[in-house]
Chain A
């Protein structure tokens, strides 16, 4: 590697710790909001995708598993994966799932019973009763269950595409990546027009 390692090269440890903590107590899922908010804030206020290239712990973890541990076939992914329609479609699907999760949190907030399960790949409900959530408000726990399901599902998708294609294939269709790239496009549209080379 060309340069000395920096502190942010070890953020894969944060990602791994997050996934493990979620197994012990679902309320740690709330920490995942950092992985959501930081890239958006960098894109909105900084106009860049520095999060993807530097600070994404998941990307680093996939890189480590795929390249260092050689768990990836390292094959070029199919073309559709990088097609804007697929990327935007996956982002839209992800947003719908996220909205449904917020809706169920709202329903619990207004008195519906708490569902102590993590839904994997938006289909399979895993019982998750071992975590004590009695000390938190039910809606806080409900959001945590829903959010951890989203994080775990996207991690599994990332691992599957890591094995099948290149280590960081998840980055191609990552909803956060698509969203931050879109924000950067909107934010920097003037420079793009002036420059004329970067428009796709």
Chain B
């Protein structure tokens, strides 16, 4: 499957609440050791559902090339 053009980027102030994990339709997000959310860049389709629900508003949808 081709990679999507857009991707989620998690900000440094993530509170690791897991709201994004619950809504991700492709299971691309995990909470890394209770510290921060992490996106599997290969799986992420850039749908933006995680950014919509993030209570801290720390998730951005960016162009895949800008995600690094």
Is A200 a contact of B12 with CB atoms below 8 Å? yes
Q: List 27 A-B contacts (CB under 8 A).
A: A2-B27, A47-B33, A48-B31, A50-B34, A52-B16, A53-B17, A59-B17, A77-B55, A83-B13, A166-B55, A168-B19, A169-B55, A177-B17, A181-B34, A183-B34, A184-B16, A184-B33, A185-B34, A188-B33, A188-B35, A192-B33, A195-B32, A198-B36, A198-B38, A200-B12, A200-B13, A200-B35
A54 touches B (CB below 8 Å): yes
A188-B55 contact, Cβ under 8 Å, with A54-B18, A177-B17: no
Once the chains bind, are B16 and A181 in contact (CB under 8 Å)?
A: yes
Q: In the docked arrangement, what's the CA distance between A83 and B11, Å?
A: 12
**Which residues 181-199 of A have a CB within 8 angstroms of B?**
181, 183-185, 187-188, 191-192, 195, 197-198
Q: How far does the Cβ of A90 sit from chain B's closest Cβ, in whole Å?
A: 12
| Count of inter-chain pairs, beta carbons less than 8 A | 101
Binding site for A on B (CB under 8 A): 12-19, 21-25, 27, 31-36, 38, 53-58
How far, in Å, is A158 (CB) from chain B's closest CB? 11
The CA of A197 and the CA of B37, in the complex, are separated in Å by 11
Q: Which chain B positions have C-beta within 8 A of A49?
A: 16-18, 31, 34
Contact flags A152-180 to B (C-beta < 8 A → 1, else 0): 00000000000001111111100001101
A81 contacts the other chain (Cβ, under 8 Å)? yes
Q: Are A198 and B18 in touch, CB under 8 angstroms?
A: no
> For B22, what are the chain A residues with a Cβ–Cβ distance below 8 Å?
53
A198-B34 contact given A2-B27, A77-B56, A172-B56, CB 8 Å threshold: no
Q: Show the binding face of A for B, using Cβ within 8 Å.
A: 1-2, 43, 47-50, 52-54, 59, 63, 76-77, 81-84, 87, 165-172, 177-178, 180-181, 183-185, 187-188, 191-192, 195, 197-198, 200
CB <8 Å contact, A167 and B55 = yes
> In the complex the two chains form, is B31's CB within 8 Å of A53's CB?
yes
Residues in chain B near residue A48, CB distance under 8 A = 31, 33-34
